[in-house]
Amino acid sequence: MKLIFATGNLNKIKEVAQILGDDSRFEIVPMSQIGVKEDIPETSPTIEGNALQKARYLYDRYKVNCIAEDTGLEIDGLGGAPGVYSARYAGEEKNAEANIQLVLKNLAEKDDRTARFRTVIALIINEKEQTFEGIIEGKIDTKKSGNGGFGYDPIFIPDGYNQSFGEMDEAIKNQISHRSLALKKLMDFLNNYPSNN
């Protein structure tokens, strides 16, 4: 079964493909392969709302079974920011380096560096909507480390580890991450989905 992925973020497509492996009965197809190139609007005040907004955008226009996901980094010492505004924290150009530098600057004087990544995947299949959430707890380091991953990975250290997501082997990130937890819930749902539907 094909599911069109409503994202323009190639890192997400790569991670999801790695997490799913080759023997899944579901094929996640980037929206670019059906000719969708635009940046889908994300104007909801919640992560779940944005995931649904992106999936509905594709479903309403193309009538395809699809998924979308939205992720936010919630930092307790910043009152939950950047949260739903993670991509644009330092400005509309969505620059990962500028976002990281602004987080480090705003946290410099704070004691509480606990944080979490929260991902919500929205699925629309045969006109029905479902959402699946994955959360990983951790903390924000005082400096960047590692060149792996993307976005805020070089400053996020998951609980139980002493390496940032940016330093970690990508296979380990993909076993424990917010995205893989949400994706596993999605797969459990789809694996029980009637095949005559």
Could you give the residue numbers annotated as active site? 70
Identified binder of ligand ITT from the candidate list 30, 59, 100, 153, rule CB under 6 A:
153
Output 171 or 192, the one with its CB closest to ligand ITT.
Answer: 171
Output 95 or 193, the one with its CB closest to ligand ITT.
Answer: 95
**Cβ atoms < 10 Å from Cβ of 80:** 14
Q: Is 70 in the site for ligand ITT (CB under 6 A)?
A: yes
Q: Is 80 in the site for ligand ITT (CB under 6 A)?
A: no
- The secondary structure of 81-107, three-state, reads CEECCHHHCCCCCCCHHHHHHHHHHHH
Quote the tokens at residue 63. Answer: 């009538």
Identified binder of ligand ITT from the candidate list 30, 77, 134, 149, rule CB under 6 A:
149
Residues linked to residue 132 through DSSP beta bridges, in sequence order: 121
Identified binder of ligand ITT from the candidate list 7, 53, 65, 180, rule CB under 6 A:
7
**In this structure, are strands 2-5 and 66-75 parallel, antiparallel, or unpaired?**
parallel
Output 83 or 194, the one with its CB closest to ligand ITT.
Answer: 83
Which of 17-25, 68-76, 138-146, 189-197 is the region at the interface with ligand ITT (rule: CB under 6 A)?
Answer: 68-76
Q: Is 71 in the site for ligand ITT (CB under 6 A)?
A: yes
Task: Round to whole Å and give the CA distance between 96 and 46.
Answer: 20
26: amino acid identity, one letter: F
Q: Is 152 in the site for ligand ITT (CB under 6 A)?
A: yes
- Per DSSP, the three-state class of 140 is strand
Q: Is 146 in the site for ligand ITT (CB under 6 A)?
A: no
Q: Can you give the C-alpha Rg of the chain in angstroms?
A: 17
Identified binder of ligand ITT from the candidate list 86, 131, 164, 174, rule CB under 6 A:
86
- With beta carbons less than 8 A apart as the criterion, state whether 125 and 2 touch: no
- With beta carbons less than 8 A apart as the criterion, state whether 111 and 101 touch: no
Residues of this chain that interact with ligand ITT (CB under 6 A) are 7-9, 12, 42, 70-71, 73, 86-87, 96, 99, 149-153, 165, 177, 179
